[in-house]
């Protein structure tokens, strides 16, 4: 813009100088072709001007130069005033766009980009603050319930030493169960904080995914008996992938535990795995209450749980699926959830070699 104004200024000065010279030459030509009376006032005036033409040329040139210079000097100052006003608007960014003169279109677009970025950053900061507040609220809520139970049963054991051995063993078992629940919650909060504050470094190794899924499913058999559930495995044999085995075990453990928690009694959980090119697709499907679309969209959010009562009967603090999504995406994969006709389906897609992705 500065270069354009300078060019326009030089052109204006040049045009004015040329016009002034041409006008003077035209005036001399016209005056010389006319017949004048020696006592004609106009002749006397023009003759006086001719005698002092250098002075008059200087006056006209200086006057014109001053006017043109003022006009072109005032333009950048006006532009600067507009930019300063826009800068004040940027200090308190709103959704209202910044509007400058047409000559400042490029600057206007750049300032609006900065404004939009500032608005987005402000919203992100508010969301981060809200997530922090949610963390405190959920932490207090989820830790308070089992902690109250632990204190209550331990107090009962202290204040009633004459209770029967059977009751003592029962109360001790419940207190231990609640204490373990507290430990799991604390571990979950540590995990989600660690995953949010770091790039989650992976330690890839060759893993027989088929064997991993068989082992994880076998470990859940005692839990299945409580709800009279069963597994139906459809695993392609000997599928080997390169991944962080410990983290991937966490993913499948979370998904299977979620399927168990939200399955109807006396139903079947289907676990299927297949190859599609250089991608492994694993499907975990259970029969349970259909998840509404508005809840399904939030199922991978931190602290989101489908049971609004947030009881301990249906899992942890609502971090398991969020952590699973973080791990899968860190491997260059994708995770998806669907629910219809009383079936809940989680689909995980993983590349055979995460090193080629991350």
Task: Taking residues 131-147, report their average pLDDT.
Answer: 71
- Shared-domain flag, residues 167 and 218: no
Condensed to tens digits (0 to 9), the pLDDT of residues 108-130 reads 788 888 888 888 888 878 877 77
**Section 333-348 average pLDDT:** 93
Q: Which of 303, 308, 348 is nearest to 328 (CA)?
A: 348
As a whole-number percent, the residues of the chain with pLDDT over 70 amount to 85
Whether 271 is covered by a domain: the verdict is yes
59-63, 244-248, 284-288, 301-305 — which is least confidently predicted?
A: 301-305
What pLDDT is stored for residue 36 in this prediction? 67
* pLDDT for 109: 82
pLDDT number for residue 24: 77
Domain match, 236 and 351 both: yes
Which two three-digit tokens encode residue 156? 């009962």
Residue 76 and residue 26: Cα distance in Å, rounded? Answer: 36
* Residue 358 banded pLDDT, cuts 50, 70, 90: very low
Q: What is the mean pLDDT of residues 70-90?
A: 74
Does some domain include residue 100? Answer: no
- Same-domain status, 212 and 192: no
Q: 101 — phi, psi (to 5°)?
A: -65, 165
Q: Given a cut of 70, is residue 305 above it in pLDDT?
A: no
As to burial, measured by CB atoms within 10 angstroms (0-12 exposed, 13-18 middle, 19+ buried), residue 272 is: middle
The structure's pTM equals 0.54
Question: pLDDT tens digits for 202-260?
Answer: 788 899 999 999 999 888 887 888 788 999 999 988 899 999 888 899 899 889 988 99
The total of structural domains in the chain comes to 3
pLDDT of residue 312: 46
Q: To which residue do tokens 């604390």 refer?
A: 186
pLDDT at position 7 is 81
Give domain status of residue 241, yes or no: yes
Helices 245-261 and 320-330, interaxial angle, to 10°? 140
Out of 68, 92, 116, pick the residue that ends a domain. 92
In the chain, % of residues over pLDDT 90: 17
Would you say residue 257 lies in a domain? yes
Range of the domain at 148: 130-197
- pLDDT score recorded for residue 311: 45
β-bridge pairing 230-235 and 268-276? parallel
């Amino acid at each position: 813009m500065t270069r354009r104004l300078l060019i326009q200024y030089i052109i204006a000065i040049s045009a004015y100088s040329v016009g002034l010279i041409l006008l003077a030459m035209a005036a001399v030509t016209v005056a010389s072709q006319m017949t004048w009376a020696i006592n004609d006032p106009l002749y006397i005036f023009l003759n006086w001007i001719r005698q002092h033409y250098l002075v008059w040329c200087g006056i006209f040139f200086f006057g014109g130069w001053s006017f043109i210079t003022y006009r072109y000097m005032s333009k950048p100052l006006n532009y600067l005033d507009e930019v300063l006003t826009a800068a004040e608007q940027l200090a308190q960014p709103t959704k209202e766009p910044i509007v400058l003169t047409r000559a400042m279109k490029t600057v206007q677009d750049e300032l609006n980009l900065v404004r939009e970025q500032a608005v987005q950053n402000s919203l992100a900061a508010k969301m981060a603050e809200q997530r922090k507040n949610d963390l405190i609220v959920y932490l207090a809520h989820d830790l308070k319930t089992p902690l109250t139970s632990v204190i209550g049963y331990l107090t009962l054991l202290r204040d009633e030493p004459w209770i029967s051995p059977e009751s003592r063993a029962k109360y001790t078992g419940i207190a231990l169960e609640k204490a373990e629940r507290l430990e799991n919650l604390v571990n979950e909060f540590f995990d989600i904080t660690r995953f949010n504050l770091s790039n989650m470094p992976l330690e890839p190794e060759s893993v027989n995914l088929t064997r991993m899924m068989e082992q994880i499913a076998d470990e859940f058999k005692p839990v299945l008996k409580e709800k009279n559930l069963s597994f139906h495995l459809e695993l392609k044999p000997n599928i080997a992938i390169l991944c962080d085995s410990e983290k991937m075990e966490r993913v499948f453990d979370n998904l299977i535990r979620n399927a168990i928690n939200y399955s109807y009694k006396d139903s079947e959980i289907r676990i299927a795995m297949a190859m599609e090119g250089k991608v492994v697709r694993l499907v975990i499907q259970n029969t349970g209450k259909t998840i509404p679309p508005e809840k399904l969209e939030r199922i991978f959010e931190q602290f989101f749980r489908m049971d609004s009562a947030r009881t301990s009967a249906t899992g942890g603090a609502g971090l398991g699926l969020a952590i699973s999504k973080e791990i899968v995406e860190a491997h260059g994969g994708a995770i998806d959830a669907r629910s219809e006709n009383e079936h809940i389906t989680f689909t995980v897609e993983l590349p055979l070699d995460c090193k080629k992705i991350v």
